[in-house]
Structures are given as C-alpha cells and as structure tokens.
C-alpha cells in the first residue's frame, strides 16, 4: 500500500544564520557600497569642468587654426637668430597661431623636472588693433590645452605697455606683445632671486626667438619694465617676467 504522505512536499526549516555570518554579510555589503561611492566620486570628478574650461564659458574665445610644422631646421634657426626691433604689419592668423603653438604648447616630455614649472607660466598676449588678421585688439590669455585665446580686455593697449616698458618704442610698433607671468611659487630662492620661474621664462623666450625666425617674423625679449604698471594693464597680481614684442620683419 502506497503511503500518501510520501507525495507531500517536504518542508525544510532553515537554520538561523550565526551572528558571525551576519557580521560578515554586513561588512561585505558595506564594502560594496563604499566601492560604489568611490566609483561615483571618480566619475563625477572627471565630468567637472577644469578652471580653464570654466573660463572658456565666461568670455569671448578665439579658436586658433591648426598650426602646421615650421619647415626651417633648428640648426638654421639658431644661426639666423637675431633680436629684431623694427616691424611691419599686419601678421596673418596662421603664422600668429604657429608662433604661439610652437612656443607655448603644453610641455609633456623632454624637460624633466622643469615640465610642470613651464606649464605653470601664464602666457598673455597684447594684440594691436588691426595688426593680427582676424583678431581684435585686446588683452588675451593663451589657453594651451585648447590652443585658443580668451579675451580679458578689448582695445589696443600697446601704447600703455610701451610706456610701462620704459618707453621702448618697439613694444608699441609690434603686431603683438607676449607677456609671461608667474606667481613665483615653487622657485628656489638664491641671493634674493626666485630662480625657477625666470629659468622657465628664458626657455620659453628662446623658443619664441627660434619660432619667429622660422616663420619670417622678428622679436626681442625685454626685461626692463615697471612691474606694477604691467600688472595693472593685464589686471593680474602675478609677476611679469618678460615682454616679447613680435612683428613681421621689415
């Protein structure tokens, strides 16, 4: 005779989990939640706009054309390098773009310990009215990552800048002036001079010289000026290191 109870489903009673197992489970869930929070934080940080990107949203920005390579060899540029103080204008936008890119694009390798310091030098450009094709007269900040100019002030300020540079007329007669600024942080103080930012300014100044020669332009590096007056023109608290007038060679 078949027992009917044999076909009834068996009910299994689960044992109550031990307290040790429960503690381990809570720790596992907590670890997963912490990991998820960390991933969300990292993704959020990647999506946040950098300060330079935020500035792009605040003012007029000029995207410069993609610069081709300079055809002249470095050896020839070194041999022909001169300080030029007489210019004609205007300068075409492509050569303007090339000079800024090949002189100041973001340094990623080849400079060792100087890499970060070179990228921290602010590059500002004072453009004369009608002297650079397609660019209004004004004060600009060069944005390395974007290869673009952000307008800080509109108008021609070359006369004021020349006055601040002890009335050196080539500052006013240039197509544009490059002014390098630094907050002087991270430099080694030696005999009252912060060396590192000035060393970086010297490297960047030489790059301007070589790029200018290769592009048929002229420039001269100026170190004599009234710091406070230059700061006022560019509306910055940082210290000016160099003024570099640039123009088409006569």
Task: Give which of 92, 141, 125 is closest to 208, Cα–Cα.
Answer: 125
- pLDDT confidence of residue 45: 36
Q: Is residue 2 part of a domain?
A: no
Task: Give which of 210, 245, 208 is closest to 103, Cα–Cα.
Answer: 208
Residues 32 and 143 occupy one common structural domain: no
Q: Tell me the sheet residues that pair with 243.
A: 179, 222
d(CA 139, CA 125): 6
Number of domains in the chain: 2
192: left (phi over 0), alpha (psi -120 to 50) or beta: left
Question: CATH number, domain at 217?
Answer: 3.40.109.10
d(CA 116, CA 188): 15
d(CA 246, CA 185): 28
- pLDDT confidence of residue 47: 34
Q: Is residue 9 part of a domain?
A: no
- pLDDT confidence of residue 207: 97
Q: Tell me the sheet residues that pair with 132.
A: 91, 135
Per-residue pLDDT of the chain (250 residues; tens, 9 = 90+): 555 555 445 544 455 556 665 656 666 666 666 565 545 443 433 333 333 333 444 568 999 999 999 999 999 999 999 999 999 999 999 999 999 999 999 988 878 878 888 999 999 999 999 999 999 999 999 999 999 999 999 999 999 999 999 999 999 999 999 999 999 875 655 555 557 888 999 999 999 999 999 999 999 999 999 999 999 999 999 999 999 999 999 9
Instruction: State residue 82 phi and psi, 5-degree precision.
Output: -145, 155
Residues 26 and 135 occupy one common structural domain: no
- pLDDT confidence of residue 20: 63
Angle between the N-to-C axes of helices 195-214 and 93-104, in degrees from 0 to 180, rounded to the nearest 10: 140
Q: Is residue 4 part of a domain?
A: no
Residues 203 and 187 occupy one common structural domain: yes
SS3 190: strand
Strand ranges (E), the chain: 61-63, 87-88, 122-127, 138-143, 148-154, 176-182, 189-190, 193-194, 217-219, 239-249
Residues 102 and 19 occupy one common structural domain: no
Residues 60 and 100 occupy one common structural domain: yes
- pLDDT confidence of residue 111: 81
Residues 145 and 24 occupy one common structural domain: no
């Amino acid at each position: 005779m078949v027992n009917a109870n044999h076909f009834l489903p068996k009910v299994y009673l689960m044992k109550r989990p031990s307290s040790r197992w429960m503690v381990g489970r809570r720790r596992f869930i907590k670890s997963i939640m912490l990991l998820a929070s960390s991933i969300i934080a990292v993704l959020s940080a990647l999506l946040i706009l950098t300060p330079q990107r935020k500035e792009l949203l605040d003012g007029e920005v000029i995207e410069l054309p993609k610069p081709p390579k300079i055809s002249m060899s470095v050896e020839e540029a070194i041999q022909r390098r001169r300080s030029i103080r007489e210019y004609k204008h205007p300068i075409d936008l492509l050569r303007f773009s090339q000079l800024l890119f090949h002189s100041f694009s973001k340094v990623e390798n080849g400079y060792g310990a100087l890499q970060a310091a070179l990228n921290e030098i602010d590059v500002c450009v004072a453009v004369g009215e009608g002297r650079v094709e397609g660019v209004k007269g004004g004060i600009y900040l060069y944005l390395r990552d974007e290869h673009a100019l952000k307008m800080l002030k509109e108008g021609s300020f070359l006369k004021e800048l020349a006055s601040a540079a002890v009335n050196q007329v080539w500052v006013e007669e240039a197509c544009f002036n490059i002014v390098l600024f630094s907050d002087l942080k991270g430099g080694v103080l030696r005999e009252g001079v912060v060396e590192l930012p000035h060393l970086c300014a010297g490297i960047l100044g030489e790059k301007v010289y070589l790029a200018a020669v290769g592009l048929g332009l002229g420039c001269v590096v100026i170190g004599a000026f009234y710091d406070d007056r230059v700061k006022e023109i560019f509306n910055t608290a940082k210290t000016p290191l160099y003024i570099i007038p640039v123009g088409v060679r006569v």
